[in-house]
Structure 1
Protein backbone atom coordinates (compact mmCIF):
# COMPACT_ATOMS: atom_id res chain seq x y z
CA UNK A 1 0.00 0.00 0.00
CA UNK A 2 2.92 2.31 0.85
CA UNK A 3 4.62 1.61 -2.46
CA UNK A 4 1.37 2.42 -4.29
CA UNK A 5 1.12 5.77 -2.45
CA UNK A 6 4.72 6.68 -3.28
CA UNK A 7 4.21 5.79 -6.93
CA UNK A 8 1.02 7.87 -7.11
CA UNK A 9 2.73 10.86 -5.46
CA UNK A 10 5.71 10.63 -7.80
CA UNK A 11 3.51 10.42 -10.84
CA UNK A 12 1.41 13.37 -9.69
CA UNK A 13 4.44 15.56 -8.95
CA UNK A 14 6.03 14.68 -12.31
CA UNK A 15 2.80 15.54 -14.15
CA UNK A 16 2.47 18.85 -12.30
CA UNK A 17 6.06 19.88 -13.04
CA UNK A 18 5.50 18.94 -16.69
CA UNK A 19 2.41 21.16 -16.89
CA UNK A 20 4.28 24.01 -15.19
CA UNK A 21 7.05 23.85 -17.77
CA UNK A 22 4.48 23.88 -20.62
CA UNK A 23 2.69 26.85 -19.06
CA UNK A 24 5.92 28.84 -18.89
CA UNK A 25 7.14 27.98 -22.38
CA UNK A 26 3.87 27.99 -24.35
CA UNK A 27 0.93 29.90 -22.84
CA UNK A 28 -1.29 28.93 -25.79
CA UNK A 29 -0.73 25.19 -25.54
CA UNK A 30 -4.02 23.25 -25.85
CA UNK A 31 -2.81 21.00 -23.06
CA UNK A 32 -3.55 23.82 -20.63
CA UNK A 33 -7.24 23.52 -21.45
CA UNK A 34 -7.47 19.94 -20.26
CA UNK A 35 -9.27 19.82 -16.94
CA UNK A 36 -8.59 17.19 -14.27
CA UNK A 37 -11.16 15.52 -12.12
CA UNK A 38 -10.66 13.78 -8.80
CA UNK A 39 -11.88 10.23 -8.34
CA UNK A 40 -12.04 9.31 -4.68
CA UNK A 41 -12.43 5.75 -3.40
CA UNK A 42 -11.79 4.08 -0.06
CA UNK A 43 -9.61 1.53 -1.86
CA UNK A 44 -7.82 3.72 -4.46
CA UNK A 45 -7.33 6.91 -2.48
CA UNK A 46 -7.38 10.09 -4.58
CA UNK A 47 -6.37 9.78 -8.21
CA UNK A 48 -6.21 12.58 -10.77
CA UNK A 49 -6.96 11.83 -14.38
CA UNK A 50 -7.34 14.06 -17.49
CA UNK A 51 -10.80 14.48 -18.98
CA UNK A 52 -10.40 14.00 -22.73
CA UNK A 53 -12.92 15.24 -25.28
CA UNK A 54 -15.19 12.66 -26.83
CA UNK A 55 -17.24 12.60 -30.01
CA UNK A 56 -20.78 13.04 -28.72
CA UNK A 57 -22.45 12.45 -32.09
CA UNK A 58 -24.74 9.40 -31.97
CA UNK A 59 -23.43 6.30 -33.70
CA UNK A 60 -26.15 5.44 -36.16
CA UNK A 61 -26.21 2.04 -37.88
CA UNK A 62 -25.50 2.08 -41.57
CA UNK A 63 -28.49 0.82 -43.50
CA UNK A 64 -28.68 -0.24 -47.11
CA UNK A 65 -31.09 2.09 -48.85
CA UNK A 66 -33.23 0.96 -51.72
CA UNK A 67 -34.16 3.35 -54.48
CA UNK A 68 -35.59 3.04 -57.92
CA UNK A 69 -33.80 4.35 -60.98
CA UNK A 70 -36.23 5.54 -63.64
CA UNK A 71 -35.13 5.24 -67.24
CA UNK A 72 -36.77 6.81 -70.28
CA UNK A 73 -37.26 3.58 -72.19
CA UNK A 74 -38.00 -0.05 -71.43
CA UNK A 75 -35.95 -3.02 -72.64
CA UNK A 76 -37.03 -4.91 -75.72
CA UNK A 77 -35.79 -8.24 -77.03
CA UNK A 78 -36.10 -7.19 -80.67
CA UNK A 79 -35.30 -3.52 -81.37
CA UNK A 80 -35.56 -4.20 -85.13
CA UNK A 81 -39.32 -4.80 -84.85
CA UNK A 82 -39.79 -1.07 -85.54
CA UNK A 83 -39.29 -0.02 -89.16
CA UNK A 84 -36.43 2.53 -89.32
CA UNK A 85 -38.61 4.80 -91.44
CA UNK A 86 -41.44 4.71 -88.90
CA UNK A 87 -41.65 6.60 -85.65
CA UNK A 88 -41.08 4.25 -82.72
CA UNK A 89 -43.84 4.37 -80.10
CA UNK A 90 -42.85 5.72 -76.73
CA UNK A 91 -43.78 4.48 -73.30
CA UNK A 92 -45.91 6.75 -71.14
CA UNK A 93 -44.32 8.22 -68.03
CA UNK A 94 -46.70 6.19 -65.86
CA UNK A 95 -45.75 3.05 -67.76
CA UNK A 96 -42.06 3.70 -67.19
CA UNK A 97 -42.65 4.50 -63.53
CA UNK A 98 -44.71 1.33 -63.09
CA UNK A 99 -41.85 -0.72 -64.51
CA UNK A 100 -39.34 1.00 -62.21
CA UNK A 101 -41.60 0.38 -59.21
CA UNK A 102 -41.81 -3.26 -60.27
CA UNK A 103 -38.02 -3.54 -60.18
CA UNK A 104 -38.07 -1.95 -56.74
CA UNK A 105 -40.67 -4.44 -55.48
CA UNK A 106 -38.53 -7.32 -56.77
CA UNK A 107 -35.59 -5.95 -54.79
CA UNK A 108 -37.68 -5.48 -51.66
CA UNK A 109 -38.76 -9.11 -51.83
CA UNK A 110 -35.14 -10.20 -52.44
CA UNK A 111 -35.97 -11.68 -55.84
CA UNK A 112 -33.05 -12.23 -58.19
CA UNK A 113 -35.12 -11.32 -61.26
CA UNK A 114 -37.93 -9.00 -62.28
CA UNK A 115 -40.86 -11.18 -63.28
CA UNK A 116 -44.41 -10.56 -64.39
CA UNK A 117 -45.48 -10.62 -60.74
CA UNK A 118 -43.13 -7.71 -60.02
CA UNK A 119 -44.50 -5.74 -62.99
CA UNK A 120 -48.01 -6.34 -61.66
CA UNK A 121 -46.96 -4.97 -58.28
CA UNK A 122 -45.33 -1.98 -59.93
CA UNK A 123 -48.56 -1.07 -61.69
CA UNK A 124 -50.38 -1.12 -58.34
CA UNK A 125 -47.66 0.89 -56.61
CA UNK A 126 -47.79 3.65 -59.24
CA UNK A 127 -51.47 3.84 -58.40
CA UNK A 128 -52.69 6.65 -60.68
CA UNK A 129 -52.87 4.78 -63.98
CA UNK A 130 -56.01 3.36 -65.60
CA UNK A 131 -54.88 -0.27 -65.21
CA UNK A 132 -54.23 0.19 -61.49
CA UNK A 133 -57.67 1.72 -60.99
CA UNK A 134 -59.27 -1.22 -62.77
CA UNK A 135 -57.37 -3.71 -60.60
CA UNK A 136 -58.17 -1.94 -57.34
CA UNK A 137 -61.80 -1.61 -58.36
CA UNK A 138 -61.90 -5.40 -58.58
CA UNK A 139 -60.37 -6.08 -55.18
CA UNK A 140 -56.65 -6.12 -56.00
CA UNK A 141 -54.23 -4.74 -53.39
CA UNK A 142 -50.46 -4.69 -53.21
CA UNK A 143 -50.50 -6.83 -50.07
CA UNK A 144 -52.60 -9.53 -51.73
CA UNK A 145 -50.36 -9.64 -54.80
CA UNK A 146 -47.24 -9.86 -52.61
CA UNK A 147 -48.70 -12.75 -50.64
CA UNK A 148 -49.59 -14.64 -53.80
CA UNK A 149 -46.15 -13.97 -55.28
CA UNK A 150 -44.43 -15.43 -52.23
CA UNK A 151 -46.70 -18.49 -52.40
CA UNK A 152 -45.68 -19.11 -56.00
CA UNK A 153 -42.00 -18.17 -55.90
CA UNK A 154 -41.18 -18.95 -52.28
CA UNK A 155 -40.02 -16.99 -49.28
CA UNK A 156 -37.09 -14.68 -49.97
CA UNK A 157 -33.56 -15.26 -48.76
CA UNK A 158 -32.96 -12.31 -46.44
CA UNK A 159 -29.19 -12.63 -46.82
CA UNK A 160 -29.45 -12.13 -50.59
CA UNK A 161 -29.05 -8.65 -52.03
CA UNK A 162 -30.82 -8.10 -55.34
CA UNK A 163 -29.00 -6.12 -58.04
CA UNK A 164 -30.10 -2.56 -58.71
CA UNK A 165 -31.84 -3.71 -61.87
CA UNK A 166 -32.84 -7.38 -61.44
CA UNK A 167 -32.78 -8.93 -64.93
CA UNK A 168 -36.10 -9.60 -66.60
CA UNK A 169 -37.45 -13.11 -66.76
CA UNK A 170 -38.29 -14.44 -70.20
CA UNK A 171 -42.01 -14.07 -69.48
CA UNK A 172 -41.58 -10.45 -68.32
CA UNK A 173 -39.64 -9.58 -71.47
CA UNK A 174 -42.37 -11.16 -73.59
CA UNK A 175 -44.98 -9.10 -71.72
CA UNK A 176 -43.11 -5.90 -72.61
CA UNK A 177 -42.72 -6.97 -76.22
CA UNK A 178 -46.43 -7.85 -76.42
CA UNK A 179 -47.29 -4.32 -75.30
CA UNK A 180 -45.01 -2.81 -77.96
CA UNK A 181 -46.37 -5.10 -80.69
CA UNK A 182 -49.96 -4.26 -79.83
CA UNK A 183 -49.21 -0.58 -80.10
CA UNK A 184 -47.49 -1.06 -83.47
CA UNK A 185 -50.43 -3.08 -84.80
CA UNK A 186 -52.87 -0.35 -83.82
CA UNK A 187 -51.15 2.14 -86.11
CA UNK A 188 -51.83 4.87 -83.57
CA UNK A 189 -49.19 7.44 -82.74
CA UNK A 190 -49.99 7.47 -79.04
CA UNK A 191 -47.93 6.14 -76.17
CA UNK A 192 -47.59 2.61 -74.82
CA UNK A 193 -49.43 2.75 -71.51
CA UNK A 194 -49.70 0.73 -68.32
CA UNK A 195 -52.88 -0.78 -69.75
CA UNK A 196 -50.78 -2.26 -72.56
CA UNK A 197 -48.30 -3.45 -69.95
CA UNK A 198 -50.98 -5.13 -67.81
CA UNK A 199 -52.46 -6.90 -70.84
CA UNK A 200 -48.95 -8.01 -71.73
CA UNK A 201 -48.69 -9.64 -68.29
CA UNK A 202 -52.09 -11.28 -68.84
CA UNK A 203 -50.91 -12.67 -72.18
CA UNK A 204 -48.26 -14.84 -70.50
CA UNK A 205 -50.50 -17.71 -69.37
CA UNK A 206 -47.77 -19.76 -67.66
CA UNK A 207 -46.16 -16.88 -65.77
CA UNK A 208 -46.62 -15.95 -62.12
CA UNK A 209 -48.27 -12.63 -62.98
CA UNK A 210 -51.08 -14.29 -64.93
CA UNK A 211 -51.65 -16.88 -62.18
CA UNK A 212 -51.85 -14.18 -59.50
CA UNK A 213 -54.28 -12.11 -61.56
CA UNK A 214 -56.49 -15.15 -62.20
CA UNK A 215 -56.41 -16.14 -58.52
CA UNK A 216 -57.50 -12.65 -57.43
CA UNK A 217 -60.40 -12.51 -59.88
CA UNK A 218 -59.10 -11.02 -63.14
CA UNK A 219 -60.60 -12.66 -66.22
CA UNK A 220 -60.85 -12.42 -70.00
CA UNK A 221 -63.92 -10.20 -69.72
CA UNK A 222 -61.96 -7.54 -67.82
CA UNK A 223 -59.07 -7.96 -70.24
CA UNK A 224 -61.41 -7.37 -73.17
CA UNK A 225 -62.82 -4.30 -71.45
CA UNK A 226 -59.32 -2.88 -71.11
CA UNK A 227 -58.41 -3.88 -74.65
CA UNK A 228 -61.43 -2.04 -76.03
CA UNK A 229 -60.44 1.05 -74.11
CA UNK A 230 -56.86 1.25 -75.35
CA UNK A 231 -57.95 0.47 -78.93
CA UNK A 232 -59.81 3.74 -79.20
CA UNK A 233 -57.98 6.28 -81.40
CA UNK A 234 -56.14 8.89 -79.39
CA UNK A 235 -56.27 6.94 -76.11
CA UNK A 236 -53.96 8.56 -73.57
CA UNK A 237 -52.93 7.60 -70.05
CA UNK A 238 -54.92 9.44 -67.37
Structure 2
Protein backbone atom coordinates (compact mmCIF):
# COMPACT_ATOMS: atom_id res chain seq x y z
CA UNK A 1 0.00 0.00 0.00
CA UNK A 2 2.80 2.43 0.92
CA UNK A 3 4.61 1.57 -2.32
CA UNK A 4 1.52 2.50 -4.31
CA UNK A 5 1.10 5.73 -2.35
CA UNK A 6 4.75 6.58 -2.92
CA UNK A 7 4.32 6.00 -6.66
CA UNK A 8 1.20 8.14 -6.75
CA UNK A 9 3.00 10.91 -4.91
CA UNK A 10 5.92 10.78 -7.33
CA UNK A 11 3.49 11.11 -10.23
CA UNK A 12 1.90 14.09 -8.49
CA UNK A 13 5.31 15.70 -8.03
CA UNK A 14 6.17 15.01 -11.67
CA UNK A 15 3.04 16.84 -12.74
CA UNK A 16 4.06 19.80 -10.56
CA UNK A 17 7.42 19.93 -12.34
CA UNK A 18 5.67 19.91 -15.72
CA UNK A 19 3.30 22.71 -14.65
CA UNK A 20 6.16 24.85 -13.32
CA UNK A 21 8.24 24.33 -16.45
CA UNK A 22 5.20 25.10 -18.63
CA UNK A 23 4.59 28.45 -16.96
CA UNK A 24 8.33 29.13 -16.88
CA UNK A 25 8.77 28.41 -20.59
CA UNK A 26 12.05 29.93 -21.82
CA UNK A 27 12.51 31.55 -25.20
CA UNK A 28 14.32 28.42 -26.36
CA UNK A 29 14.17 25.02 -24.57
CA UNK A 30 17.28 24.40 -22.42
CA UNK A 31 19.62 21.76 -23.79
CA UNK A 32 20.81 20.51 -20.41
CA UNK A 33 18.12 17.97 -19.34
CA UNK A 34 15.94 19.37 -16.57
CA UNK A 35 15.30 15.93 -15.15
CA UNK A 36 19.03 15.44 -14.61
CA UNK A 37 19.01 18.58 -12.46
CA UNK A 38 15.81 17.37 -10.79
CA UNK A 39 17.49 14.07 -9.82
CA UNK A 40 20.53 16.00 -8.63
CA UNK A 41 18.26 17.98 -6.32
CA UNK A 42 16.75 14.78 -4.98
CA UNK A 43 20.21 13.37 -4.27
CA UNK A 44 21.30 16.59 -2.57
CA UNK A 45 18.28 16.43 -0.30
CA UNK A 46 19.51 13.05 0.91
CA UNK A 47 23.02 14.47 1.35
CA UNK A 48 21.63 17.32 3.40
CA UNK A 49 20.04 14.91 5.88
CA UNK A 50 23.00 12.54 6.09
CA UNK A 51 25.94 14.94 6.09
CA UNK A 52 25.56 18.69 5.73
CA UNK A 53 22.87 19.33 8.33
CA UNK A 54 24.67 17.10 10.85
CA UNK A 55 27.88 19.03 10.26
CA UNK A 56 26.13 22.36 10.74
CA UNK A 57 24.28 21.23 13.81
CA UNK A 58 27.02 19.46 15.76
CA UNK A 59 30.38 20.94 14.74
CA UNK A 60 30.68 24.00 12.53
CA UNK A 61 28.03 26.24 14.02
CA UNK A 62 27.85 25.12 17.63
CA UNK A 63 28.96 28.51 18.94
CA UNK A 64 26.77 30.35 16.47
CA UNK A 65 23.83 28.19 17.55
CA UNK A 66 24.14 29.22 21.19
CA UNK A 67 24.33 32.88 20.13
CA UNK A 68 21.22 32.70 17.96
CA UNK A 69 19.26 30.61 20.45
CA UNK A 70 19.80 33.34 23.01
CA UNK A 71 17.80 35.70 20.79
CA UNK A 72 14.60 33.70 21.36
CA UNK A 73 13.37 31.37 24.05
CA UNK A 74 13.01 28.35 21.79
CA UNK A 75 15.84 28.98 19.34
CA UNK A 76 13.40 29.66 16.50
CA UNK A 77 15.79 31.99 14.66
CA UNK A 78 18.50 29.34 14.71
CA UNK A 79 16.17 26.61 13.47
CA UNK A 80 14.56 28.77 10.79
CA UNK A 81 17.62 30.38 9.22
CA UNK A 82 20.73 28.36 10.11
CA UNK A 83 19.45 24.88 10.88
CA UNK A 84 16.97 24.67 8.01
CA UNK A 85 17.17 27.38 5.35
CA UNK A 86 20.94 27.74 5.09
CA UNK A 87 21.90 24.05 4.64
CA UNK A 88 19.06 23.43 2.18
CA UNK A 89 19.80 26.43 0.00
CA UNK A 90 23.54 25.70 0.10
CA UNK A 91 22.86 22.26 -1.39
CA UNK A 92 20.75 23.66 -4.22
CA UNK A 93 23.06 26.60 -4.87
CA UNK A 94 26.16 24.40 -5.06
CA UNK A 95 24.39 22.11 -7.53
CA UNK A 96 23.60 25.01 -9.84
CA UNK A 97 27.00 26.62 -9.39
CA UNK A 98 28.95 23.42 -10.04
CA UNK A 99 26.88 21.72 -12.74
CA UNK A 100 24.88 24.43 -14.49
CA UNK A 101 26.59 27.81 -14.22
CA UNK A 102 29.66 27.03 -16.34
CA UNK A 103 27.84 24.65 -18.69
CA UNK A 104 27.85 25.86 -22.29
CA UNK A 105 24.17 24.88 -22.62
CA UNK A 106 23.32 27.65 -20.13
CA UNK A 107 22.94 30.10 -22.99
CA UNK A 108 20.20 32.54 -21.90
CA UNK A 109 19.17 34.18 -18.61
CA UNK A 110 15.86 32.34 -18.35
CA UNK A 111 17.63 28.98 -18.29
CA UNK A 112 18.67 29.80 -14.75
CA UNK A 113 15.04 29.83 -13.60
CA UNK A 114 14.25 26.52 -15.31
CA UNK A 115 17.23 24.82 -13.70
CA UNK A 116 16.61 26.52 -10.35
CA UNK A 117 13.01 25.27 -10.25
CA UNK A 118 14.13 21.79 -11.32
CA UNK A 119 16.72 21.37 -8.55
CA UNK A 120 14.38 22.85 -5.95
CA UNK A 121 11.50 20.51 -6.80
CA UNK A 122 13.90 17.58 -6.85
CA UNK A 123 14.94 18.58 -3.35
CA UNK A 124 11.31 18.89 -2.24
CA UNK A 125 10.44 15.49 -3.73
CA UNK A 126 12.77 13.61 -1.40
CA UNK A 127 11.44 15.55 1.59
CA UNK A 128 7.89 14.62 0.59
CA UNK A 129 8.79 10.95 0.26
CA UNK A 130 10.20 11.03 3.80
CA UNK A 131 7.02 12.76 4.97
CA UNK A 132 4.92 10.11 3.27
CA UNK A 133 6.57 7.24 5.15
CA UNK A 134 6.94 9.05 8.46
CA UNK A 135 3.69 11.00 8.69
CA UNK A 136 1.33 9.40 6.21
CA UNK A 137 -0.59 10.67 3.23
CA UNK A 138 -2.16 13.65 4.99
CA UNK A 139 1.23 15.13 5.90
CA UNK A 140 2.71 14.41 2.47
CA UNK A 141 -0.09 16.07 0.55
CA UNK A 142 -0.21 18.90 3.08
CA UNK A 143 3.46 19.51 2.35
CA UNK A 144 2.71 19.55 -1.37
CA UNK A 145 0.58 22.68 -0.94
CA UNK A 146 3.03 25.01 0.82
CA UNK A 147 6.59 23.62 1.04
CA UNK A 148 6.74 22.38 -2.56
CA UNK A 149 5.44 25.62 -4.01
CA UNK A 150 7.73 27.67 -1.77
CA UNK A 151 10.74 25.57 -2.83
CA UNK A 152 9.79 26.27 -6.44
CA UNK A 153 9.76 30.04 -5.85
CA UNK A 154 13.06 29.87 -3.96
CA UNK A 155 14.40 28.13 -7.06
CA UNK A 156 13.01 30.89 -9.27
CA UNK A 157 14.83 33.51 -7.22
CA UNK A 158 18.07 31.54 -7.17
CA UNK A 159 17.94 30.84 -10.89
CA UNK A 160 17.01 34.41 -11.80
CA UNK A 161 20.03 35.94 -10.08
CA UNK A 162 22.30 33.17 -11.32
CA UNK A 163 21.11 33.91 -14.86
CA UNK A 164 21.83 37.61 -14.33
CA UNK A 165 25.27 36.75 -13.01
CA UNK A 166 26.03 34.58 -16.02
CA UNK A 167 25.15 37.27 -18.58
CA UNK A 168 25.92 40.47 -16.68
CA UNK A 169 29.15 42.42 -16.08
CA UNK A 170 28.35 42.46 -12.33
CA UNK A 171 28.89 38.72 -12.00
CA UNK A 172 30.07 38.60 -8.39
CA UNK A 173 27.23 40.78 -7.10
CA UNK A 174 24.40 38.79 -8.73
CA UNK A 175 26.13 35.49 -7.95
CA UNK A 176 26.07 36.43 -4.27
CA UNK A 177 22.43 37.50 -4.57
CA UNK A 178 21.54 34.08 -6.02
CA UNK A 179 22.53 32.58 -2.66
CA UNK A 180 21.51 35.25 -0.15
CA UNK A 181 17.98 36.00 -1.41
CA UNK A 182 16.68 32.37 -1.31
CA UNK A 183 18.21 31.86 2.16
CA UNK A 184 16.46 34.96 3.53
CA UNK A 185 13.09 34.08 1.98
CA UNK A 186 13.36 30.46 3.10
CA UNK A 187 14.34 31.55 6.59
CA UNK A 188 11.32 33.84 6.93
CA UNK A 189 9.06 31.06 5.67
CA UNK A 190 10.35 28.64 8.31
CA UNK A 191 10.28 31.33 11.00
CA UNK A 192 6.57 31.93 10.37
CA UNK A 193 5.86 28.21 10.57
CA UNK A 194 7.82 27.83 13.81
CA UNK A 195 6.84 30.90 15.79
CA UNK A 196 3.31 31.93 14.89
CA UNK A 197 0.43 30.09 16.55
CA UNK A 198 -1.99 31.36 13.91
CA UNK A 199 0.62 30.89 11.23
CA UNK A 200 -1.91 30.68 8.40
CA UNK A 201 -2.80 34.37 8.82
CA UNK A 202 0.85 35.26 8.21
CA UNK A 203 1.59 32.54 5.66
CA UNK A 204 -1.16 33.42 3.17
CA UNK A 205 0.04 37.00 2.52
CA UNK A 206 3.65 35.82 2.60
CA UNK A 207 2.98 33.16 -0.05
CA UNK A 208 0.96 35.57 -2.19
CA UNK A 209 3.84 38.02 -2.06
CA UNK A 210 6.29 35.22 -2.79
CA UNK A 211 4.36 34.12 -5.88
CA UNK A 212 4.02 37.72 -7.06
CA UNK A 213 7.77 38.17 -6.69
CA UNK A 214 8.48 34.90 -8.49
CA UNK A 215 6.22 35.76 -11.43
CA UNK A 216 7.77 39.23 -11.61
CA UNK A 217 11.28 37.75 -11.78
CA UNK A 218 10.14 35.25 -14.42
CA UNK A 219 8.83 38.12 -16.55
CA UNK A 220 12.08 40.03 -16.08
CA UNK A 221 14.05 36.93 -17.08
CA UNK A 222 11.98 36.66 -20.28
CA UNK A 223 12.93 40.26 -21.10
CA UNK A 224 16.61 39.60 -20.34
CA UNK A 225 16.59 36.55 -22.62
CA UNK A 226 14.97 38.56 -25.42
CA UNK A 227 17.62 41.28 -25.04
CA UNK A 228 20.34 38.64 -25.00
CA UNK A 229 19.17 37.07 -28.26
CA UNK A 230 18.70 40.50 -29.83
CA UNK A 231 22.29 41.42 -28.99
CA UNK A 232 23.52 38.11 -30.41
CA UNK A 233 21.56 38.69 -33.60
CA UNK A 234 22.94 42.23 -33.92
CA UNK A 235 26.48 40.97 -33.40
CA UNK A 236 26.00 38.27 -36.05
CA UNK A 237 24.71 40.80 -38.57
CA UNK A 238 27.72 43.06 -38.00
CA UNK A 239 30.02 40.12 -38.71
The two structures have a TM-score, normalised by structure 1, of 0.29
Q: TM-score, normalised by structure 2?
A: 0.29
Which structure carries more strand by proportion? Answer: 1
Larger Rg: 1
Report which of the two has the higher share of helix. 2
Which structure's relative contact order is higher, taking Cα pairs within 8 Å and 6+ residues apart?
A: 2
